[in-house]
């Protein structure tokens, strides 16, 4: 399979994001990040997620389709977990504790019934951008790729959304996400903040925040389709969108 991460020369990206982020891929910091990832791989280190999933959040939720943004921090660092969407894990993997708490709040807030999986692709396909601040990690080493350039790249993504879109919902859970999103225009968008859903902090204000119903109320108020938060009981790996496949075959971004 072709490597589609920044460690390769051709980044395959949804056209709207590709155009909006073209200057980033030409920048010195992204060249340095590419070099870092290539060096880590040459040393035999295992990196998650797989190359084709590094930009899954952007490829699953096109720039002009984003309705809601959830900011995470790092990809999961265990085998088979990360696939490029924050808080989400691949089918067949145990639901992580933070996501279990998200499910609990959804149940109390909107009557959600927890499925037997933690695969959130269904949300991403509806316009929920599930964006981590750092898009790669070394196996079994949490935070190992922090400070290598990803934070600058994802800051730019949030800036683009803040400036080019209107009436988005941003869910900022925990101090890290709130700091990253501190510049978001609260008059132009709805910004909802609470503690992180981690077991260490969920009881200090994540539970009871009702962010999911509040987000949908705002979307309806601004003339948008609300998010169907209820995940399918059966998690099936969805086929890539036809436009993404077209980009993979014919276009790409070449640095």
Residues tagged active-site = 74
Instruction: Answer for the pair 125, 67: CB distance below 8 angstroms, yes or no.
Output: no
pTM of the model: 0.89
Residue 30: C-alpha distances to residues 104, 131, 154, 186, 187 (Å): 38, 18, 12, 30, 32
**Cα(173)–Cα(166) distance, rounded to whole angstroms?**
21
User: 40 is written with which tokens?
Assistant: 């880590």
Q: Is the pLDDT of residue 252 over 80?
A: no
pLDDT, tens only, 162-184 = 999 999 999 999 999 999 999 99
CA distance 242 to 147: 34
End-to-end Cα spacing for the chain: 20
CA distance 170 to 48: 26
Say if CB 174 and CB 196 are below 8 A apart.
yes
197-245 per-position pLDDT tens digit: 999 999 999 999 999 999 999 999 999 999 999 999 987 665 343 333 3
User: What is the number of alpha carbons within 13 Å of residue 120 lying toward its C-beta?
Assistant: 28
């Amino acid at each position: 399979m072709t490597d589609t991460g920044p460690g390769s020369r051709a980044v395959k990206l949804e056209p709207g994001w590709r155009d909006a982020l073209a200057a980033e891929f030409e920048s010195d910091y992204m060249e340095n990040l590419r070099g870092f990832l290539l060096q880590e791989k040459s040393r035999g280190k295992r990196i998650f997620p797989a190359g084709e999933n590094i930009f899954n959040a952007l490829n699953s939720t096109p720039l002009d389709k984003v309705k809601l943004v959830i900011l995470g921090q790092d990809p999961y660092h265990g085998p088979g977990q990360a696939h490029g969407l924050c808080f989400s894990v691949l089918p067949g993997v145990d639901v992580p504790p933070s996501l279990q708490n998200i499910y609990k709040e959804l149940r109390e807030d909107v009557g959600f019934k927890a499925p037997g999986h933690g695969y959130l692709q269904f949300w991403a396909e509806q316009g929920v951008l599930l964006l981590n601040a750092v898009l790669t990690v070394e196996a079994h080493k949490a935070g190992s790729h922090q400070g290598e350039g990803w934070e600058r790249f994802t800051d730019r993504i949030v800036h683009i959304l803040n400036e080019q879109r209107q009436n988005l919902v941003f869910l900022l859970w925990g101090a890290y996400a709130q700091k990253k999103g501190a510049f978001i225009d609260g008059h132009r968008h709805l910004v909802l903040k609470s503690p992180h859903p981690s077991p260490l902090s969920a009881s200090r204000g994540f539970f009871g925040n009702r962010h999911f119903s509040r987000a949908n109320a705002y979307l309806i108020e601004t003339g948008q389709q609300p998010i169907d938060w209820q995940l399918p009981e059966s998690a099936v790996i969805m086929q890539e969108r036809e436009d993404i496949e077209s980009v993979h075959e014919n276009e790409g971004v070449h640095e």
